[in-house]
Copies of this chain bind each other. A is one copy, B any other.
Amino acid sequence: MTRQLPPLKPLRAFEAAARHLSFTKAAQELNVTQAAISHQVKTLEDSLQIQLFRRFNRRLMLTDAGQTYLPQLTEALDQIDAATRRLRAVDDSGDLKISVATSIAAKWLLPRLVRFRQKHPEIDVSVSASDKLVDFGRDDVDMGIRYGRGTYPGLRVDKLMQDTVFPVCSPALLQGPVPLDQPSDLKHHTLLHEEWGEQINAPDWRAWLAAAGVTGVNATRGPGYSHSSLSLQAAMDSQGVALARSSLVGLDLEAGRLVQPFGPTLPTNYACYVVSPAAAADRPKIKAFRDWLLEQAAEDLSPTV
């Protein structure tokens, strides 16, 4: 191909100057000084070795060469402008692609997503549930929702929910024949375990029992599940008592599918975060979704419904 393009900034300056037949007006259009335009045009003329303007004292004219050059440049620059607008438009209207940790997707986001569609019918959200960390440089993804410590360099990070941990079970189990009124009663119940595959170390049953001051309960007893949603489902099915993260069971507690029989509620050192590339963080659809997420999380804390 080997194009032989002239320097592009001077080209742009010439185009503006030729359109206005005035360096001063071109300078205004491009937000620079008249001297800058004068330099640029000269640079272009020198680079092309062709005179483009005829300079009179209070008047500019295009040379024959400049005359033929101008309209073609105008068209080309307009095309770049149009392409760029189109790019922005396509990008603003295209799918909003979110990558969400599977448990959050299942237990928190998806149940709420209908409301977002109602609020912003113009934004199509495409959720990809995955427990692999998003790499915005690699994946064609706009935002991520992740558990973690909130340290993601180069990304815009907003904390959605700080997690706590406490026991939950089905209301049926609570009212069942075997008492479940205080932590020590757990020795007569099945403990449901969740294996957090990731590097997150939230309190497990051993830690919770220790914090609750309960002894004589085998912390490792009972089935393990690979995902929070599975252990919670087991709990809803009255198969035992699960240790739940507050961020995931909000709706289940609200709906009465699960109850917290007793405390304590333990803090964790991680939270749920919305992340997106810092550069793109303020694009309309991304901002809209982030704002909505934070709003939802705030409602979790003080349920108005």
Contact = CB atoms under 8 A, between A and B. Distances in A.
Interface of A: 1-6, 8-9, 11-12, 29, 45-46, 48-51, 54-56, 63-65, 68-69, 72-73, 75-88, 90-91, 94, 136-140, 277, 279-280, 282-283
Contact of A140 (B63, B76, B78): B63
B54 A139 contact: yes
B5 A64 contact: no
A55 B135 CA distance: 10
B136 A51 contact: yes
A83 B65 CA distance: 11
A164 to B, nearest CB: 35
Contacts of A8: 8-9, 11-12, 80
Given A88-B48, A280-B49, A280-B51, A140 B64 contact: yes
Given A83-B72, A277-B51, A5 B138 contact: no
B86 A54 contact: no
A280 B91 contact: no
Contact of A54 (B85, B87, B137, B279): B137
A91 B67 CA distance: 11
A236 to B, nearest CB: 40
**Top 4 closest pairs, chain A to chain B, by CB:** A72-B83, A8-B8, A76-B79, A3-B81
